[in-house]
Amino acid sequence: MTTTATSFELHLGDCLTGMKQLPTSSVDLVVTSPPYNLGTSYSTYIDTLDRADYLEWTRCWAAEIRRVLKPEGSFFLNVGAAPSNPLMPHQILLALVPDLFHLQNTFHWIKSITVDTRDGDEISVGHFKPINSQRFVNDCHEFIYHLTPDGRVPLDRRAVGVAYVHKSNITRWGHTGGQDKRCRGNNWFIPYETIQRRSAERPHPATFPVSLAARCIGITGLPPSEMTMLEPFLGIGHAALAARQTGVAKFIGFEIDEQYFAEAEARLNRTNDS
């Protein structure tokens, strides 16, 4: 249960212009997922820039994030690929590292997975967008790059950890401190919630789950009640919802699309949204 009511500063407008108004070293955490330049059908934004222009634009808004981020802050950047354009996430990363940021961790957001159990059962969980191809397999994951100013920012790994399967490990390993929780690692299985109608329930073509942003908040180890969080590409507000759920003190968001901005505000006004 959270004890802090989040203060929201939501701005309809271009994030590059908006971030220039923010003070230097004023933000603890950035969680965002920009347009991937893969031809996604957004409401108004055209997601098909020239590759060089797109990467230069990326460097521009990322430079503003670097300016406003505190020295001990973290920037979680969610980027995906298309099977026919697999290099894009890596090109985005190389546009930012090492001139602006250090890559401290790479997380894999697993949307769907099939596991073969020791008993021989096959368990499939999650959702993915199937493709009909003779060349490519279904793409069931995206990257979350954890970028920091110097690559040395401490994390609370067990804040989003998992219990030990074999409980004897709790006493066997000194680093456990007697706690039944270990580091989750860098594979994060976070499925989309099942929906019936995208237009009504998830009216945006490229969202991440609220719980993904909440996990990014938790692993920083920073007290949410003292945190300022920024989302330059607000979309329909999933990062804002995570901020509210976890009790982040202050949330700043920018969104250039009027339709998505209105949806984000509406979701924040619905107290039971998740």
Q: What is the pLDDT along the chain (274 residues), one digit of tens a residue?
A: 445 799 999 999 999 999 999 999 999 999 999 987 755 554 565 556 688 999 999 999 999 999 999 999 999 999 998 887 899 999 999 999 999 999 999 999 999 999 999 899 999 999 888 889 999 999 999 999 999 999 999 999 999 999 888 888 878 877 878 888 888 999 999 998 765 454 444 554 558 999 999 999 999 999 999 999 999 999 999 999 999 999 999 999 999 999 999 999 999 998 544 4
- Dihedral sign from CA coordinates of 236, 241, 244, 250: negative
Range of the domain at 230: 7-269
Query: 52 vs 8, 35, 55, 66, 92, CA distance in Å?
Result: 34, 15, 5, 21, 11
- Indicate whether 144 belongs to any domain: yes
Report the phi/psi class of residue 259: left, alpha or beta, with left for phi > 0 and alpha for psi in -120 to 50: alpha
**Helices (H), strands (E): how many in the chain?**
8, 10
Give SS3 for 185. coil
- Indicate whether 2 belongs to any domain: no
Task: Single out the residue of 238, 246, 241 nearest to residue 221, CA to CA.
Answer: 246
Distance, in Å, from the CA atom of 195 to the CA atom of 236, rounded to the nearest integer, reads 16
pLDDT, residue 40, reads 52
- Indicate whether 274 belongs to any domain: no
Distance, in Å, from the CA atom of 222 to the CA atom of 208, rounded to the nearest integer, reads 22
Distance, in Å, from the CA atom of 37 to the CA atom of 39, rounded to the nearest integer, reads 6
- Indicate whether 192 belongs to any domain: yes
pLDDT, residue 273, reads 44
Helix axis angle, 51-68 to 88-96, nearest 10°: 50
The CATH number covering residue 220 comes to 3.40.50.150
Distance, in Å, from the CA atom of 72 to the CA atom of 244, rounded to the nearest integer, reads 22
Report the phi/psi class of residue 39: left, alpha or beta, with left for phi > 0 and alpha for psi in -120 to 50: left
Say how many domains are in the chain. Answer: 1
pLDDT, residue 148, reads 98
- Indicate whether 1 belongs to any domain: no
- Indicate whether 175 belongs to any domain: yes
